[in-house]
Structure 1
C-alpha cells in the first residue's frame, strides 16, 4: 500500500500534472470573470432590446420553454473565452519566437576524401598520408 501511495505522489508531483492543475484553477477563475461580464454587463445591455433581462428571454413552443437567452449567454461566454485564449496563445508564441535559437550556419568542411584510396584526409593536404598520392590543389 505504501508503494501505491509513493507511485501516486510521484505521478501527482510531475511537472505536467501540476501545470495542468494550475491551468484548471486559473481557467475556472477566468470563467467566473467572463460569466460575470456576460451576465452582469453584456446581457443586460442586450436585454434593453427585449425590455427584460436577456437571460430570461424564453421561447415557448407547445408549452415547452426554450431558454434562448441562457443559450446565447453561453455562446457569448464561449466566444469571449476562446478569443482570450487565442490572444494568450498568440502572445506566448510570439514571445517564444523571440528567444528561439537561430540555427548556426553550416561549418566549412575540415576533411576531404582521397580520390585514389578513399581515405579521409585533412582538407589542406596536398599529398595523401596513406597512399602518398599527390593531390590536385583546388583553386
Structure 2
C-alpha cells in the first residue's frame, strides 16, 4: 500500500494538479487585487463615490456603553462585499475561459499536424525500393 501511495503521489497527475491549485490561488489573489484596487474604485467613481465594500444592511446596530466601548458589535448583511465577490467570480471565470480557449486552440493545431507514415507504409516503401534494385 505504501508503494502504491508513493507511485500515486509522485505521478504526473498529482504534481500537475498541485501546480494547478497553486496557480489558481495566485490568479485568485491577482484578480481580487484587480477588482478591489482598480475595478471597484473606477465603478465607485461613476456611481458618485460609492464604495461597494461599505454597502450593508444593518440588522442590529452596535451597542456602546457609557465610555463608548462596544458592548455588542453590529450585525449586518454585507451585500457590498458579496457584489465584489461576484465580480471576482466573473473575472476569474473569464480568465479561465480565455486560458482554456487558448489551450484548446493549441491542442487542436497539434492534433491536426500531419502524422508521419505508418509502419506498414514505411515497410511498403522499403519493399518497393528493394524491388527496384
TM-score normalised by structure 2 residue count = 0.66
Cα deviation per residue 1:62-91 (whole Å; 9 max; x = unaligned)?
655211110010000000000111111111
What's the counterpart of residue 4 of structure 2?
A: 7
Aligned to 2:42: 45
Please report how far the alpha carbon of residue 101 of structure 1 lies from its aligned counterpart in structure 2 after TM superposition. 4.4
**1-structure distance, mates of 2:77, 2:44:** 17
Q: Which has the higher contact order (CA 8 A, sep 6+)?
A: 2
- Higher helix proportion: 2
Q: Which residue of 1 aligns with 2:106?
A: 95
Q: Shift of residue 8 of structure 1?
A: 2.5
1:30 and 2:27 are equivalent in the alignment: yes
State the distance in 2 between where 1:102 and 1:11 align: 32
Instruction: Tell me the secondary structure at the aligned position of residue 26 of structure 2.
Output: helix
1:76 and 2:76 matched: no
What are structure 2's unaligned runs of at least 5 residues? 62-74, 116-133
Aligned to 1:51, the other structure's residue is in SS state coil
- 1:92 CA drift (Å): 0.7
User: What TM-score, normalized to structure 1?
Assistant: 0.63
Q: What stretches of structure 1 of length at least 5 have no aligned partner? A: 105-139
1:124 aligned residue:
none
Instruction: Name the CA distance, whole Å, in 1 between partners of 2:84 and 2:18.
Output: 27
